[in-house]
Amino acid sequence: MEQIMRDFFLFLSKNKSLTKLAKKYGLHFGASRFVAGETVDLAVKKIKDLNEKGLAVTVDYLGEFVDNEKEANEMADNSILAIEAIGKHKLNSQLSLKMTSMGMDISEEVVMKNMRKILDAARRNDVFVTIDMEDYSRCETTIDIFKKLRVDYENVGTVIQAYLFRTEKDIDDLNSLNPNLRLVKGAYKESEEVAFPDKKDVDENYKTIIKMHLLNGNYTAVATHDDAIIEYTKQLVKEYNIPNDQFEFQMLYGIRNERQLELVKEGYKIRVYVPYGTDWYGYFMRRLAERPANVAFVLKGMLKK
């Protein structure tokens, strides 16, 4: 049943008609638990609250599957507004974004132009930018774009997904760049031809790439809510005397808030992924797909209205 629900919500996440309806009617049906609001001002308020609790942030102006240059440019401009807000308010925050929102599906010229504008603004404001990873069909292109940008910018990183067979090779290939990488399990529905179908295999591969990247001496963001992976990472850094300033844990806004604060008290750096904007639907559906408890929470909220 859990897999059926996961597949169902992942299917819904790609429905463009529902995405348009969601933009029109706003953050209803429980989405506000996982999304900070529709404007940068609301996001700034949430980031300040999190910073005061000792939590770092990466903020994301939500959007994906952009298919025209005008909209891609608008997405880039909104990312720059977020960067400038981080600088203005001196927030402990980075920026995350998706290549499809910057025009990757339109042309390399469009996406590179927008990314260079963003990274220039980020450099001026001392903000680090992480390029999110999307589905497998866009993985190679995303990594190629990251490699090209990394030549000119130190303030950029990307994401590597543990459920893909190619992941160990990607870690090896990127090592020469000394990259700052966010390591995740992966949240898209993929073919068994390219991804591990069983959770236990994904978990083992996740541990493998965490160890690889840390022992390569590179900064590692372990993005997980899985206590087993968190404990594995703690033991690993202890065993190999890896300093706390070489890694961090990352979690999603609205999920396991108490656990985030517990890890801060233990002396670990925790970064919370805070999304905002009107294009929240696809992100919200993937959060429902990840954990049945999220679905139960939303249904409970709807019944109260």
- For the chain, the straight-line distance linking the first and the last C-alpha, in angstroms and rounded, comes to 27
Of residues 6, 46, 42, the one with CA closest to residue 26: 42
In terms of DSSP bridges, do strands 56-61 and 129-132 run parallel, antiparallel, or are they unpaired? unpaired
Catalytic residue among 182, 271, 286, 287: 182
**What pairs with residue 270 in β-bridges?**
249
**3-state secondary structure (DSSP) of residue 152:** helix
89 HSE (CA, 13 A, CB side): 19
Catalytic status, residue 172? no
Buried b (16+ CB within 10 A) or exposed e, 95-118: bbbbbbbbbbbbeeebbbbbbebb
What residue type is 289 in one-letter code? Answer: A
Catalytic residue among 60, 105, 132, 203: 132
Catalytic status, residue 49? no
**Under a CB-based contact definition with an 8 Å cutoff, are residues 99 and 141 in contact?**
yes
In sequence order, the 6+-apart residues with CB closer than 8 A to the CB of 6 are 189, 289, 290
**Under a CB-based contact definition with an 8 Å cutoff, are residues 55 and 272 in contact?**
yes
Structural Rg of the chain based on CA atoms: 18
**3-state secondary structure (DSSP) of residue 184:** strand
In sequence order, the 6+-apart residues with CB closer than 8 A to the CB of 26 are 38, 278
CA distance 61 to 78: 7
CA distance 209 to 181: 11
CA distance 43 to 298: 21
Residues tagged active-site: 132, 182
